[in-house]
Every structure is written in C-alpha cells, then in structure tokens.
Amino acid sequence: MVKHPMSVELEQAIITRRGTQLLGPIDLSLSGTGFTIVLGPNGAGKTSLLKVLHGVTRLSSGRVRWSVPDKEAREAQAYVFQKPIMLRRSVRQNLAFPLQLLNFPKAEIAERVTHWSGRIGLEDALNRPATRLSGGEQQKLALARALIREPQVLFLDEPCANLDGRSTLEIEKLLLAASTAGTRIIMTTHDLGQARRLASDVVFLLNGKVREQATAQDFFSAQQTEEAQAFLNGDIIE
C-alpha cells in the first residue's frame, strides 16, 4: 500500500475538565513520518495528547489540524491502548473485526488474519477466546488488530507497560517493522530504554505542556530544560 505522509498540527490546544486544565495550551507540529515517543511523568498529559490527536477526546479550545480532511485522517489511524481491550470473541474474530467494519471481502480478511496471526505467533490459537490469552499475547493481538488495517498513523499508549522483556522485545520488533513499512508511529512510554531504542524524535511533556520537542539524538544527548534533564536522571519532577 502506498502511504502518503499525514502531518498534524496542534494549535493552542487546551483540555479543561471541571475547572482543571488537564492539557495545554499546546502548539505542536508533527511531521508525516517517523517514530515519535512522548515522554513525561504520570499526569503530564501523554494519554490526553494521544487521544486528542486521534480525535477521541475533544478539545476545550484550540484545534487539531491534519494535512488531510478529518474523516480521511480518522480512517487512516489506529490506536493501541495501555490495557488491551479484547472483544469477547476468538483470536480470529478479534483480528477480523476492524476489517469487517470496513466491509473487506471475506477472502482478504481470511488472508490477512492468517498473515497477522503468524506474525504474532498466535496461528495455533486462532479459535481460542482472546480474553484467555496472557497479557503479552493480548497486547500483541491488540497491536496486530491495529496494524491489520494498514493504518498510516498508529498511536500507542504505553503498549509494553507490565509486560516482561521477551514480550516487550516482540512488540518492539513489530513496531519497528511497521515503522520501516511507512506507518507513522506516535507512542507514549515510561521506559527510557525503549524510548532510546525506538524513537526518531521525542516530545517531552510536563504538567500538560510541551517542554521539549527534539530529535531523539538531540534529546538524549543534550536536553534543553532542567526538567528533562531531571527526568532522564530519574529524579522526581513536578
């Protein structure tokens, strides 16, 4: 599939809930290619930022502007949640679900399901209930379910939280392969090692605001703010 890069800009984006400002004001520009890692302590607004970009959380003010029309942008995106949401169906049906929503032909659905179940090592578990898989298997299935639509932009909210090293490595391989194939990835993580391994660029958030945005190389070698330095040193920042 030929992918046309989809860039996005946030302009004075603010989320306010019950009088508390959760995010913003944020001005942010993300190019249509690359692997962006969003870093920051708990409560910094990482998940909110992802959801705003994906369009599932509404802004209180400001705007999100994709380089293509909104409808087209939404259809070209996929999202993987921190805690994988499994449909109460088999592995096969979970994989097929996004394609069925888009009315793909049955033969193509079967072909893609076979391909992706093999990619995540669940080809022998296609008829098993997805909810009975292990945490790592569920997260791989959630990732495959997102990638099976061949999205142009993939959002991931701490996809490896609570996973062991082996599962993390398997997921990282899938993500790097997707990135190499042209999928734009925007991901949050607490794992600095993972951020170093995967990121092409980094957005550092604190208290709902972007404190730094730089290439991964620049961010990890020469931070521009004291907060980012403290964060990378493992200090507690507020």
Chain positions contacting other proteins, by CB under 8 A: 54, 56, 74-75, 78-79, 81, 85, 87-90, 93, 97-98, 101, 127-129
Closer to other proteins by CB, 159 or 227: give it: 159
Tell me, what DSSP letter sits at residue 188?
A: E
Whole-angstrom distance, CA of residue 147 vs CA of residue 86: 15
For 228, counting Cβ atoms within 10 Å of its Cβ (0-12 exposed, 13-18 middle, 19+ buried), the class is buried
Record the tokens describing residue 210, joined without a space.
């972007």
Give min distance, CB of 98 to other proteins, in A: 6
Closer to other proteins by CB, 54 or 211: give it: 54
In 3D space, the residue among 155, 226, 208, 212 whose CA is nearest the CA of residue 42 turns out to be 208
Closer to other proteins by CB, 58 or 166: give it: 58
Closer to other proteins by CB, 186 or 216: give it: 186
Tell me, what DSSP letter sits at residue 149?
A: T
In 3D space, the residue among 17, 33, 18, 26 whose CA is nearest the CA of residue 50 turns out to be 26
Cβ of 77: how many Cβ atoms within 10 Å? 22
Whole-angstrom distance, CA of residue 194 vs CA of residue 219: 14
Amino acid letter, residue 57: T
Give min distance, CB of 67 to other proteins, in A: 18
Is-cis flag, bond preceding 98, omega within 30?
no
Closer to other proteins by CB, 15 or 206: give it: 15
Closer to other proteins by CB, 20 or 127: give it: 127
Give min distance, CB of 190 to other proteins, in A: 20
